[in-house]
């Protein structure tokens, strides 16, 4: 039987990644959530009545008046409990808390007191409750000047701005894919955790990387010099650096592509270097007859380059969860490449009258048991 999962704050940074990842799991049915459900009791009641599990991510964390933050977050929890009570349902609620709980500010208080209200409700009605206290999160599509220092630095560097460091402290970070996996484990494996209280679980998530702010900036500036300006892939052997690089790539302006190769020609013919890397990977090529489209899939962790060296091609990309399609036209008379961001479904079509020859590089060899390849039409 499929579990029905609802995510409040589904459109936010963490919520969007969690929703998209869960949508790949055929054993899960996602119950759509819209922010208008809060403030409309009927819609919120309909939502909670459908859910086996509710991941409560919706919260306010910035406002000129800290009291508004506190009151809003407490009210969201109260509305959720009231809707469950009205419908007489007992979904497993997973609550996103913050390390700010331990600090003397109204946002931290709202998280701590919201958690306490949900624990009290779960114990009274016999429902399951999980609290996940989350460190600083980074990853693709974070909002600059809002979600994290990584998002701000990536955006500014990719757009030729110079970030400034106010406090060069060490920060504890977790990559969004790692955090999403913890949420999914909490959804699926609640009863495997050996809890002191069978209904309530509190988990403080440790950062997977501790690093100084200046070190993050240095890595991103190196990516700009090597990758954005010279097309050189960095080392992708370390999990953090691969995650940071994939995050950076998602902030590169779409106008950057296609990038033309340097074509070295003499009386023997031409030589074109398609990729220079500080990492390993897999190189391959394809031939495609006129009118045929290849691809229509996306990756969640892989870095990939499509290089057209002969023929005419249309490369299309679409970010998962959106409708906008990016069209890039390439011609082998002026060899060029387009790199595929993660979470963008992509394809390549031969739009010419002759055979299309495309070279491919991807940072990890294909493994059918862990392909990280999901087929969705552009």
Domain residue limits, the chain: 3-134, 254-375
* Region of 39 on the Ramachandran plot (φ > 0 left; ψ -120 to 50 alpha; else beta): left
For residue range 73-93, what is the model confidence (pLDDT) as tens digits? 999 999 999 999 999 999 999
Is 347 exposed, middle or buried (CB count within 10 Å of its CB: 0-12, 13-18, 19+)?
Answer: middle
- The CATH code of the domain at 3-134 is 3.40.50.720
Alpha-carbon distance values, 153 to 100, 226, 230, 339 (Å):
23, 17, 20, 21
pLDDT of residue 1: 64
Widest CA span of the chain, in angstroms? 84
Instruction: Provide the strand spans (E) within 16-143.
Output: 28-31, 53-56, 92-98, 129-134, 136-138
- Distance, in Å, from the CA atom of 203 to the CA atom of 205, rounded to the nearest integer, reads 6
What's the pLDDT tens digit per position in 240-280?
999 999 999 999 999 999 999 887 777 776 667 788 888 77
What superfamily in CATH does domain 254-375 come from? Jelly Rolls (2.60.120.10)
Q: Are 318 and 344 in contact (CB under 8 A)?
A: yes
209 has which bridge partners? Answer: 173
Is there a cis peptide before residue 258, judged by omega within 30 degrees of 0?
Answer: yes
Q: Rounded to whole angstroms, how far apart are CA atoms 345 and 300?
A: 10
Which regions in the chain score pLDDT beneath 70? 1, 190-197, 269-271
- Structure confidence at residue 189 (pLDDT): 74
Token readout for 323 is 């409708």
Tokens found for residue 163: 């970030």
Terminal C-alpha separation, the chain: 31
């Amino acid at each position: 039987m499929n579990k029905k999962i609802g995510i409040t704050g589904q459109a936010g940074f963490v919520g969007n990644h969690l929703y998209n990842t869960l949508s790949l799991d055929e054993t899960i049915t996602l119950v759509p959530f819209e922010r208008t459900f809060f403030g409309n009791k009927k819609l919120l009641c309909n939502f909670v009545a459908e859910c086996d599990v509710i991941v409560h991510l919706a919260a306010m964390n910035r406002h000129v008046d800290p009291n508004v933050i506190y009151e809003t977050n407490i009210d969201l929890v109260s509305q959720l409990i009231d809707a469950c009570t009205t419908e007489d349902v007992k979904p497993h609620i997973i609550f996103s808390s913050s390390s700010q709980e331990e600090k003397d500010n109204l946002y931290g208080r709202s998280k701590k007191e919201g958690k306490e209200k949900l624990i009290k409700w779960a114990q009274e009605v016999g429902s399951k409750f999980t609290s996940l206290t989350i460190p600083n999160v980074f990853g693709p599509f974070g909002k600059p000047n809002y979600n994290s220092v990584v998002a701000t630095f990536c955006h500014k560097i990719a757009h030729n701005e110079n970030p400034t460091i106010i406090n060069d402290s060490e920060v504890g970070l977790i990559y969004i894919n790692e955090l999403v996996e913890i949420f999914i484990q909490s959804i699926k494996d609640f009863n495997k955790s050996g809890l002191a209280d069978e209904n309530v679980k509190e988990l403080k998530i440790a950062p997977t990387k501790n690093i100084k702010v200046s070190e993050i900036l240095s890595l991103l500036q190196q990516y700009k010099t090597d990758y954005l300006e010279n097309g050189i892939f960095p080392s992708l052997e370390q999990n953090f650096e691969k995650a940071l690089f994939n995050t950076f790539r998602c902030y590169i302006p779409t106008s950057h592509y296609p990038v033309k190769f340097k074509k070295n020609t003499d009386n023997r013919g031409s030589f074109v270097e398609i990729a220079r890397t500080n990492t390993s990977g897999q190189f391959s090529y394809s031939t495609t007859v006129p009118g045929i489209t290849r691809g229509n899939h996306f990756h969640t962790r892989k870095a990939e380059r499509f290089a057209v060296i002969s023929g005419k091609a249309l490369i299309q990309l679409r970010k998962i969860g959106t409708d906008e399609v990016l069209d890039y036209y390439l011609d082998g008379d002026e060899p060029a490449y387009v790199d595929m961001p993660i979470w963008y479904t992509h394809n390549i079509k031969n739009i010419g009258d002759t055979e299309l020859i495309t070279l491919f590089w991807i940072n990890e060899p294909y493994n059918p048991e862990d392909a990280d390849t999901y087929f969705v039409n552009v």
